[in-house]
Amino acid sequence: MKSFAPTATVVLAVSISLALSAYIKPQAEALGGAKGSDVLGLKMIQETLEPDGCAACRQARDGLCDSCRRAITVLIAMKLATHQQVQLFGGAIVIDLPPNIVDVSTFRQVPDTQEVFIINPKEKNERDEPTKEKEGQDEEENSSSLMKDLSMIVEVLESVDLNDNPEYHQPPSTGSSVDPGGYPRAIMKYHFDALAHDNSAQLATIKSIELPDNVAQFTEPPAPQSGVTGGAGGPRRTPEPVTCYGQQSVSKFNASASESHDVHIWLSLWRLNGVGNNGRGTDLVLTFNLPHLPTTNPAHFQRSFEYTRRIFHHSARSLRIVDWTLFS
């Protein structure tokens, strides 16, 4: 069999990748304390940079230029300021969420299939404390205030069977004559409408749906991790989620429709085809709910909206299934 020696370009790319990994972890620990490396999704920080390094990195003796070192430090500081890694369902799932959250199950009964969090109104993120650079800024700019009405839910559900719901039925085909995105969009709409029903919403509108490049999760089981073999509970790759954003008009405590307010909703769906529920599959759903209350200052809400949108997309990208026996 003919063997091929790796090219200089490949060797250089590997060298830079190793240099990035070696530099990121101690920087995270220095900035975030002993648990800094646990808080960070190191791979996500690394992927934010050029995977093969910049031109200066390719000339640097140790594989990283000073500019990229500074960029890494800034990225780590930003991530530590806005996220922490949270273990869900006993550590079976991990996800990045804001650092100043409260587990609702500590003071209210929550179903075993849900993890629910809100922002702690009494706890101010230490990174939000005033500094000389922040003097004169309005207190509402801190992250706790921007997210004070936000709730976050992760839920494990049995996969929706659209054959049982004619209103949403779409063929799960990826043939050339069928829109390959139609089936995942229909499933996403089902979950959004189910949430609207639970909220007793007078109006529910999906504004946008984003599909991953690969929608095979809707017709095939999640792929096993590279080099790993095992049964249904064996390690697999967490698929990329489908995400949507929409609004629902909701009234509190059975108030009249005239007293309703908009709730901005971001939703991510991981379709675990054939995993769990005796082979019927699992729908893993992440929901961010941000109410727009009539008393909210419009400019402040706009900042809250943009901040929440960024946090949601980061959280959705960060979610990883660690223990697949959760669904057994």
Task: Please say whether the dihedral angle defined by the alpha carbons of residues 211, 217, 222 and 223, taken in this order, is positive or negative.
Answer: negative
Its pTM surpasses 0.85: no
In the chain, which ranges are E strands? Answer: 84-88, 93-97, 101-103, 114-119, 151-158, 203-210, 242-250, 261-272, 282-292, 320-321
Q: What is the pLDDT of residues 11-32, one digit of tens each?
A: 344 455 666 666 666 666 655 5
Look over the chain and give the mean of its residue pLDDT values, rounded to a whole number: 76
Q: Which of 169, 171, 164, 160 is nearest to 194 (CA)?
A: 160
Is residue 261 very low, low, confident or very high in pLDDT (cuts 50, 70, 90)?
Answer: confident
Specify the pLDDT at position 215. Answer: 86
Among 328, 326, 314, smallest CA distance to 81 is for 314
Domains by residue range for the chain, with CATH:
8-82 (no CATH), 84-327 (3.40.1000.10)
Structure letter (DSSP) for residue 238: P
Give yes or no for a contact between 202 and 257, defined as CB atoms under 8 angstroms apart: yes
pLDDT one-digit tens code per residue, 30-77: 555 444 444 445 555 555 555 455 666 666 666 677 777 766 665 665
Assess whether pLDDT exceeds 60 at residue 248. yes
Sign of CA dihedral 17, 22, 23, 27: positive
Question: Per residue in 194-223, is it b (16+ CB within 10 Å) or e — as a string?
Answer: ebbeebebeebebeebebeeebebbeebbe
